[in-house]
Amino acid sequence: MLKKDRAGVTFPEGFLAAGIHSGIKKKGALDLGLLVSEKEALIVGMFTVNKMKAPPVQISQRRARRGVAIGIIVNSGNANACTGDQGVADALLLTEKVGHYMGCSAQKILPASTGVIGKPLPMFSILKALPALSEKLSAKGNADFSKAIMTTDTYPKSTQKEVLIGGEVVKIGGSAKGVGMIHPNMATMLVFMTTDAAIEKDALRMSLHQVVEDQFHTLSVDGDTSTNDSVYLLANQLAKNPVITKGSEYHREFTQALMEVASELRRLLLKDAEGATKFLHLVIQGARSKGDAKKVASTIAKSLLVKTAFYGEDVNWGRIMAAIGNAGVPVRVEKVSVALGDVALVDHGVGLGESQEEKAMEILKKSDITVTVHLGMGQMTAEYWTTDLSYEYVRINAGYKGRS
């Protein structure tokens, strides 16, 4: 089935991918992935704001700024972070060798890594695997590529979508790993998206920013950012659509389709969050600004007390109120209302009593729960996705040692 084979990052025309075991992970697990475009593509990226950026992130960020690329070489099992000058030299050499096999300059190959911090890359094994990896490149390579980027992910994550732009088919695909999947030492969220759309660079960049802001920045499992978080978007212009320019109706349509791809990747990331038993959809309403609404959402999402209460299926709206009060934005207790699902618990700062709390206990038994907070301060809203905090999260992140 052509349709099935061409999936994820290789769904759009002209993209090839592969994954291989190079020897970083144990037991033959795939740990080295390559994604390339047959035709030079525009590339835009967004990278971690963590100050401890890993060497491959620094290099990718610089190369993404130049705006054109042939491909991305990515390994799992080793983050190549806190590896000093050696880490920089290793990442540069790796892209040089891949460029050699692809017949392009190293500048057009971007490196990405995820896994343990502070260990040098096993360069000998990786370099030795490159010829075989290059030979495996195929339009059916998404399955292996998606596996090769996994760390503690329990399943590979990819999705694709078609959209008509000016009557022509444009394809978008994506593959992702991570979020709260931090065992054994440190991993990260990596997202690779591809499209064959004909699109201008500025329009592409704006689409990515909007999608990252609305999708990946509204997701929190444990509130930490890491050294390697990266989102890439490649556009190789092979589709026959009229060129998408910034601010046009076509641009709106393209961004909407990209948003749906990202939304599905976010859903897959959230559902695979370490040890999660509850998936919380936070809806903040009545904020003075979008920024205020997001701060309130992210403070609730990061509160250990809120997260453990959901794990315990405890109707503990006081912890939600305390988290709202802790968000660093102006709120007034007498204006705040809170509901779980369709059950109101707090009306203008006052609890609605035990009969409502009993109704809410039914909502808490579900695995998908919507928490609605109305701040009563304005008209702005925000949405956010997070999980509960379970024994299992502690077990996974305690590193399987000693106590667990």
Residues with a catalytic annotation lie at 188
CA distance 105 to 267: 36
Q: Which of 171, 157, 159 is nearest to 254 (CA)?
A: 171
Question: What number of other Cβ atoms are within 10 A of residue 61's Cβ?
Answer: 16
List of residues contacting a second copy (CB under 8 A): 50-53, 79, 81-84, 86, 116-119, 182, 185-186, 222-227, 277, 302-305, 308-309, 311-314, 316-319, 321-327, 330-334, 336, 346, 348-351, 389-391, 393-395, 397-404
The string of DSSP codes covering 97-125 is: HHHHHHTS-GGGEEEEEEEESS----HHH
Q: Smaller CB distance to a second copy: residue 279 or 311?
A: 311
Q: Which is nearer to a second copy, 385 or 393 (CB)?
A: 393
Question: Residue 93 has which token pair?
Answer: 């050499």
Q: How far apart are CA 377 and CA 335, in angstroms?
A: 7
Name which of 166 and 318 has its Cβ closer to a second copy.
318
Q: What's the CA gap between 378 and 285, in Å, rounded?
A: 8
Task: Check if the beta carbon of residue 175 is closer than 8 Å to that of residue 8.
Answer: yes
Q: What is the closest distance, in whole angstroms, from the C-beta atom of residue 76 to a second copy in the complex?
A: 15
- Distance between CA 111 and CA 109 in Å, rounded? 7
Rg (CA), the chain: 22
Q: By C-alpha distance, which of 186, 139, 137 is closest to 33? A: 137
Shortest Cβ 310–a second copy spacing (Å): 9
Q: Which is nearer to a second copy, 59 or 165 (CB)?
A: 59
The least distance separating a second copy from the CB of residue 54, rounded to whole angstroms, comes to 9
Q: Residue 86 CB, nearest distance to a second copy (Å)? A: 8
Closer CB to a second copy, 107 or 277, in the complex: 277
CB of 109 to a second copy, least distance (A): 23
The CB-of-88 to a second copy minimum distance in angstroms stands at: 11
CA 166: distance to chain centroid?
Answer: 30
CA distance linking residue 102 with residue 70, whole number of Å: 8
- Of 27 and 401, which CB lies nearer to a second copy in the complex structure? 401
DSSP 335: G
CA torsion 69→213→223→298, rounded to 10°? 180
